[in-house]
A and B are shown apart, each in its own frame.
Chain A
Amino acid sequence: MSAAKRSGQATATVLGLWMVLLCVVGAGDTSGWQSRGSVSVLASWTGPEGDGFRELLDTFTRRTGVHVDYQGTTALREVLSSEVASGTPPDIAVLPSSGELAAYAGQRQLTPLDQVIPSRERTAYGQLWTPRLSANGPVYGIAVKADLKSIVWYDRDRRRPGTLAALSTDGRQWCVGMGDDATSGWPGTDWIEDLLLQQQGRSVYQDWATGGLPWTDPRMRRAWESWGALFGRDTARTALITDFRKAGSKLFDADPPCALEHQGSFIRSGYPHPEKADFTFSRSLLPDADRGSTAREVSGDFAAMFRDTPQAQELMRYLVSADAQRTWGRGTATKSTHPFFANPDVPLDAQGDDEVDRNIAKTLRDSASLCLDASDAMPTRMRLAFQRAALTYLSDTTRQPDGLLRSLEKVRQGLRGARDQPWLPRVCGSPGPAR
């Protein structure tokens, strides 16, 4: 080998080393791992609930190679609306309000899911869980998680079911809290909704929740008055200044000041002793309710697609599948927060680990008549006015609700024909596919 060749090799070695060094420095700037694309998801689950959902998304990523960028926020409505307004919506958002879903659908921000989800999977969900803008129009969202309302919680170690009815007529026996930061007042709307549903039945409720029944209707007024009469001044005022997360924990105090809590199935995980909590249907305890009522109020978290990408479609199909929900349920079954599902194909044992949880799941699956939370289904403006009216009413239950109801009616009238804030065409139905 000639000397020139050798010294040429030496130079090449040095150059090579430099190249390696530059590559190492450059690699620090790149994210490295290449995936099969990514999808962004916005939902309201944070804390342990958020962790459970994230685990599900990780399973999806492992299976498909699609990276999921999850953002959980307790201010979902505001964050989503600012992202949509700035033209950078998430690919998929999970909305707890079917009314907001309808508004986004009305503004043509959502992709219809009829082409995305195979019809067999889609029709497994009842119409109730797949909101549309018109009776036979396209589906814009599917409930990937559900909760049962129209129930009353109590400490089963301390109270026998037979004694509850007697307790329920005393307003002081109800643990109530209206506070929930920016959305304070919603527990009050739940009370009014359930009172109307259990007193007047499903068709009046649906008429009202879809914008057909005036707030000034005597049946509506009766619901408000029975609420005010039940609580009286003191319970009402305590409710106003109590946080809803703290209200129910009083059930388990050593010397409990109250015995009953009217709250959805999600509250159980927040109790200090979830294993002691049991529920009964609210029809047997609410004033003037039809004791034979089979209608149950429910709430759902609806997944909707703001951007139509192949990855978003894939994740959407995954989220609504019974398979994914079983994984989600099993993954969180031993933890404190149990998700329940609207998909009738998810087995009951994947939705909690005791009889109480299974009863909730069974009710969601088998009830003849379920109705979505009316305030969640209403246009946002109506919902906020409703929440504030509930708070105002509680500040002085001795005053007749007529003035408040007239104001609410004005809001309803003002929303007539507002195309960007539509009412849903229906909120009640049976949970499964039409048979």
Chain B
Amino acid sequence: MSGTRAFLVRRLIALLVVTALAVAALLAAYFGVSRNSAAVTDRSTPAILQVAAAVDALDASYDEAKRSISSPTAEFEGLSEEYRNQLSTAKQSLAQVSKSTIGGESARGSLRTTAALVTSYGDTIEQAYASRDNPTLKNAYLGYADSILRHDQSGILDRLEAVQKRQFNVLDDQTSFGWLLSFAWWLLVPGLFLTLAALLVHTQRFLRHRFRRLVNPWLAAATALLVALLPLAVFTYQTQDRLESAGASLTRPDIGHTGGPTARKVARTMRSAHWQAGAVGWIPVGGAVLAALILVGLQPRIDEYRFQPR
């Protein structure tokens, strides 16, 4: 009989180890997708839209400044309201995004520099306005302002483009189903769960054969619990689908002046992904229940052999 006991102990260990691995893999795979839904709505979307808004506002501000300086009413109108709005939009967007950028420390440094350059850009436009009666000087200042804005690499717009590129890379990581997740969802998780199911079924048949009971209810419950994998897989598929469509909304070229609608669209797309993301907390609980069911199902059978001589 000691052979049976040894087998049962080995089987218990195997079941618990496979359970731990399967639940860990599921947790990682589920978390790998669901964590992105919050990151995309709460962090990436505002950061990307703010940079795009700043780029659009600054780009438009230059032509507007140029127009208003040459306007016959410049003397009493000053630099136009339109220009001031654009500059202030750019400044506010940059102030916000320099705290919340998803491009990391280098993007943050670059945004600090950019914010400082925007101030210099505004000053230079003011100088052009102040020199409006001296066309040579006015054009020189407008040229400097244009260069602050569009200088190759060191200009404001190129810097912002570089920051945005970094942010898009992060967004891409968040919204794409990388090889690691594909591996986890197509091979690792199904493999481990099928192994677990096979072990449970085999154990069930062994016990029926050895102890002449029709069914071990605890192990049967554990096997049934494995079916919970299916809704989680469906949730993941849906979340991934939504992430991809949010990613597509954010990479459209016109997001600079459609910031509000784009943000609402992303929020709408991702809304139901949020409660699904909450399921991540239930996975360890489910794992603990699974382990407990296996333990409770097998331990009494092992204990039956405890006092028998070897």
Contact flag A13-B16 (CB < 8 Å), given A182-B120, A240-B137, A241-B143: yes
Q: Given A13-B13, A73-B109, A396-B136, check contact A3 B306 (CB 8 Å).
A: yes
Given contacts A74-B154, A237-B136, A391-B137, contact A179 B9 (CB under 8 A): no
Chain A contacts with B in 242-261, Cβ cutoff 8 A: 243
Give the complex CA separation of A46 and B109 in angstroms. 12
**B121 close to A (CB within 8 Å):** yes
A184 interface neighbour in B112, B144, B295, B299, Cβ under 8 Å: B144
Q: How far is the CA of A6 from the CA of B303 in the complex (A)?
A: 11
Partner of A395, one of B13, B16, B134: B134
Q: Is the CB of A73 within 8 A of B116?
A: yes
A71 within 8 A of B: yes
When the two chains form their complex, are residues B12 and A179 in contact, meaning their CB atoms are under 8 A apart? no
0/1 string, A1-26, CB within 8 A of B gives 1: 01110110011011001100100010
Contact across chains for A179 and B147 when beta carbons are under 8 A apart = yes
Interface assignment of B124: CB less than 8 Å from any CB of chain A: yes
A183, chain B: closest CB distance, angstroms: 8
Pick the interface stretch among A75-83, A93-101, A294-302, A415-423.
Answer: A75-83
A7-B113 in contact (CB<8A):
no
> Which residues of the other chain, A, contact B295 by a CB distance below 8 angstroms?
11
| Interface flags, B9-25, vs A, CB<8A=1, else 0 | 10011001101110010
Count of CB-CB pairs between chains A and B under 8 Å: 109
Taking CB atoms, residues of chain B closer than 8 Å to A82 are: 112, 115-116
B9 touches A182 (CB 8 A): no
Question: Is B5 in contact with A3, judged by CB distance below 8 angstroms?
Answer: yes
**In the complex, how many residues of chain A place their beta carbon closer than 8 angstroms to a beta carbon of chain B?**
37
Chain B residues near A355: list those with CB within 8 A.
none
- Are A241 and B140 closer than 8 Å at their CB atoms? yes
**B16 engages A71 (CB within 8 Å):** no
- How many Å from the CB of B35 to the closest CB on chain A? 11
| A25 partner residues in chain B, CB cutoff 8 A | 28
Nearest Cβ distance between residue A135 and chain B, in whole angstroms? 34
Interface string of A59-83 (1 = CB under 8 A from B): 0000000000001011101110010
B200 to A: closest C-beta gap in Å: 16
Indicate whether A56 reaches chain B with its CB closer than 8 angstroms.
no
Q: Which of A18, A21, A25, A184: most chain B CB closer than 10 A?
A: A184
Report whether A7 and B134 are in contact in the complex, using a CB–CB cutoff of 8 Å: no
Q: Which of A2, A25, A46, A395 has the most CB of B within 10 A?
A: A395
Whether the pair A71, B109 counts as a contact (CB closer than 8 A) is yes
Chain B 148-185 interface residues, beta-carbon cutoff 8 Å to A:
148, 151, 154-155
**B13/A2 in contact, CB under 8 A:** no
Minimum CB distance partner of A179 in chain B? B144
Cβ proximity bits A74-117 to B, threshold 8 Å, 1 near / 0 not: 11011100100000000000000000000000000000000000
Q: Scan residues 18-66 of chain B and give those whose CB is less than 8 A from a CB of chain A.
A: 19-21, 24, 28
A165-208 contacts to B (CB < 8 Å): 178-182, 184
Contacting residues, chain A, for B140 (C-beta < 8 A): 178-179, 184, 240-241, 391, 395
CA distance A395 to B128 in the complex (A): 13
Give the interface SS of chain A, mostly helix, strand, loop or mixed: helix
- Contact string, B187-222, partner A, CB cutoff 8 A, digits 1/0? 000000000000000000000000000000000000
Judging by beta carbons under 8 Å apart, are A79 and B16 in contact?
A: no
Tell me if B123 counts as interface (CB < 8 A to partner A).
yes
Contact A10 B148 (CB under 8 A): no
- Out of A14, A46, A77, A184, which one reaches B17, CB within 8 Å? A14
Question: A179 and B143: CB pair below 8 A?
Answer: yes
Q: Which residue of chain A lies nearest to B120 when distances are taken between CB atoms in the complex?
A: A182
The answer to whether B275 has its CB under 8 Å from any CB of chain A is no
Q: Determine whether B293 belongs to the interface, using a CB cutoff of 8 Å to chain A.
A: no
The reply on B237 being an interface residue by CB < 8 A is no
Do A78 and B5 touch across chains, with their CB atoms under 8 A apart? no
B123 / chain A contacts, CB cutoff of 8 Å: 182
Distance (whole angstroms) from the CB of A192 to the closest CB of chain B? 17
Contact A396 B134 (CB under 8 A): yes
* Distance A74 CA – B112 CA, assembled complex (angstroms): 11
Residue of A nearest to B24 (CB): A21
Assuming the contacts A10-B16, A17-B17, A74-B113, asked whether A3 and B137 have C-beta atoms less than 8 A apart, the reply is no
Shortest 5 CB-CB distances between A and B: which pairs? A78-B116, A182-B120, A75-B116, A395-B137, A73-B113
A11-B295, A73-B116, A77-B116 given; 20 more Cβ-contact pairs under 8 Å = A7-B299, A10-B9, A13-B13, A13-B16, A14-B16, A14-B291, A17-B21, A73-B112, A75-B116, A75-B120, A78-B116, A78-B119, A82-B112, A180-B144, A182-B148, A240-B137, A391-B137, A392-B131, A395-B134, A396-B134
| Interface residue ranges, A against B (CB under 8 Å) | 2-4, 6-7, 10-11, 13-14, 17-18, 21, 25, 46, 71, 73-75, 77-79, 82, 178-182, 184, 237, 240-241, 243, 388, 391-392, 395-396
